[in-house]
A and B are shown apart, each in its own frame.
Chain A
Amino acid sequence: MSAPASAHVTPLRRFLWVLAALLALLALSAGSALLKLGAFNTVLNLGISVAKTLLVMAVFMHETEARKLTRLASALGFVWLAMLIALTLLDFLTRLHVPAPW
């Protein structure tokens, strides 16, 4: 964030483009549930989620307007979160699937 005196104002059009893109991606991800892609449904949905997140971070959260150091610090927070989620999922995804005995 810049000093208040030199407030940077994002152009209105950019916000509206991002909104349109977010809604299009949402429709794509909801629509993809109708396709039978096996494991790739999940891959596709996560890919779309990452794309939406990058849009929100880049424009709504002003990452593209920030200084490089600010961008780095902010991106690291999300990378750290992704690592925690990935490590949590590692436990779940690498377990053997044992059907319930009853």
Chain B
Amino acid sequence: MAVLLISSTAIALGVRALKLGQRRAAMALLTLTAALGLTFLVMHGFEYYREYGEHLVPGLDFSQPGATAAAVELFFCLYYFITGFHSLHVLIGVVIILVLARQVARGAYGAQRFTTPELTALYWHLVDIVWIFVYPALYLIGRSG
């Protein structure tokens, strides 16, 4: 999904704007980052909702026909643990970035003071990198053939 890649660029540009002393641009870019993070979470919500409708949630409602049901159940256990914990990290990031945007608006950071925004950006890039690996591992594997 391109949403997180774009949001990583947005926060990188946001910190860059802050270093250049462009506070309003930095605030806008941080808000855009948080909005893209939220978009990602909402999309995940729809995905989970659809899977619940298809009886694909182990523990809550899981029933599949055929001999591969046990394997499917295992896959979805892994899938919910991995995407669930990743989404939790995205949520934490969104909250931190929103708080940061507010602080930038109040003038807490600027061209001389940007270590906290820079570290927040590093965290957000890491969450992005995790998704870079989770996406092919869970969504593309076994698609061909």
Contacts and interface: CB of A to CB of B under 8 A. Distances in A.
Interface of A: 1, 4-5, 7, 9-10, 12, 15-16, 18-19, 22-23, 26, 29-30, 32-38, 41-42, 45-46, 48-49, 52-53, 56-57, 59-61, 99-100, 102
Interface of B: 1-2, 5-6, 8-9, 12-13, 16, 19-20, 67-68, 70-71, 111-115, 118, 121-122, 125, 128-129, 132-133, 135-137, 140-141, 143-145
B70 A45 contact: no
Given A4-B114, A5-B112, A49-B133, 20 more contacts: A7-B111, A7-B114, A16-B9, A19-B5, A22-B8, A23-B5, A23-B6, A26-B1, A26-B2, A26-B5, A33-B140, A33-B143, A34-B144, A36-B144, A45-B140, A56-B128, A59-B12, A60-B12, A100-B71, A102-B67
Given A33-B143, A60-B8, A49 B132 contact: yes
Contacts of A46: 133, 136
Query: Which applies to chain B's interface (DSSP): helix, strand, loop or mixed?
Result: helix
29 contacts: A1-B118, A4-B111, A4-B113, A4-B114, A7-B114, A9-B19, A10-B12, A10-B16, A12-B16, A19-B6, A22-B5, A29-B140, A33-B140, A36-B144, A36-B145, A37-B144, A41-B145, A42-B141, A45-B140, A46-B133, A46-B136, A48-B136, A49-B133, A52-B129, A57-B125, A59-B12, A60-B8, A60-B9, A61-B125
A83 B63 CA distance: 36
Query: Which applies to chain A's interface (DSSP): helix, strand, loop or mixed?
Result: helix
A41 B71 contact: no
